Amino acid sequence: MEFCNGFFENVGKNGEADEKTGIAMDKLWLLWYNFHKPEERSNENNMENKFARFLRNTGPARFFLPMGVMLIVFGILMLVFMGGGEYLETVGRVTAVTEELNMESEKEYDVSFTYTVDGKEYTGTFDNVGSGYKQGDEIKVFYDAENPNSISNTKMGGVIAPALIGLGVLALVFGVFKTVKAFQKSKALDQMPKAPTADFEGFKQAPGVRELYCRHDGVTLKPGYILEDGNRRILFEGKMTKQAVIGARSFEFVNHATGAVTEHEVGHTVTQSWNDELFSASSWFKFDGKNIWDLLHERGIRLSTDLRSKFPNLVYNVSKDGAAFARIETSGKYVHEDEAAEHKLNIPVGRWYYRVWTNSNDLENLFLTIFAISETEQMVVE
């Protein structure tokens, strides 16, 4: 950190950095990021993941609580200015029809009229009504029995305000309920063991760790994923056997190391975002009827997303039962090093193609984790 601060300070003073030292700011950031203290990286990584989870947990509250307050306030204002008593029907007489153009250049009509209640004449106007009225026509008017000046063009006028207040209260209760449930789930997740980020420093070069490659097999209408080793020997694959526009899709998972073949029902991905915030996006799908993230957590899988490691690549540190299990990095279409070198340009696509390092032979949970990351659409996956 001190190195980078000193470098920027010197460049700012004399501005004489030559081509070799004039590295782009983003590359300097990556240089610092890769070499500064592991515990600092661990803290920053945890902050990124906790911040994203905080936004997701508070999303319902930040959406429903303001909505609830606005509905309640609007309902109260309607009660004050329109009343909330019983609305009775009478017949008015149209005195004027005014034609106006709205923002879409469509014609709208304001109808003015008079009506009589208990021998006293009142005047009123309905905005944005149909074009079927002309001066002298009769028009239905609903008035508040306790305040005849309060009128509506529907008998429901007396219940609109209480309904809005009721909806506002429901929105408040639902927002609080969803937020409490989200934080309870988050607290339970934090109690699960998870390997610290420092355990993944040098993980790729650690004894017993092998590099694998995951690529998307999308040449047909029933795509799937293939996990293979450096010799292109297929170790595990998930093949779609039934495509479905509505309802679950069928996948066949084949573990070539053990010969095991299992059938699975995979639902379509659902992505939910509160207020269109990038990090508040929550994305999941059902795997054999269960939320994929809940299923992975039940299997002891925890994930930590590293957003700044080799942007636009993303890195996922995967723990299982509290120990470092795998490191997953997004890749370009050419996942193997020789292919990448041959094509020279290997632009990361953000999903579907991954390089994987693992110290385990548990290919089933490894593949399912990759499958979950690729099929969902949230930046920070946990």
Q: What is the pLDDT of residues 9-26, one digit of tens each?
A: 444 444 444 434 433 443
Write the DSSP string, 10-73: HHHHH----TTT---HHHHHHHHHHHS-HHHHHHHHHHHHHHHHHHHHHHHHHHHHHHHHHHHH
Q: Which long-range contacts (CB under 8 A, 24 or more apart) does 154-160 make?
A: 155/87, 155/89, 156/87, 157/82, 157/87, 158/83, 158/84, 158/85, 158/86, 158/87, 160/75, 160/78
pLDDT in tens, 257-270: 999 999 999 999 98
Cis before 348? omega within 30? no
Q: What is the pLDDT of residue 186?
A: 79
Q: Which structure tokens are listed for 36?
A: 């500064």
- In the chain (382 residues long), the average pLDDT of successive 10-residue segments reads 39 41 40 43 55 74 88 83 72 90 81 93 87 86 85 71 89 89 81 84 92 85 89 94 91 94 94 68 89 92 73 81 93 78 66 91 96 85 70
Q: How many CA atoms lie within 13 A of 237 on its CB side?
A: 17
Q: What is the pLDDT of residue 298?
A: 92
Q: What is the pLDDT of residue 35?
A: 43
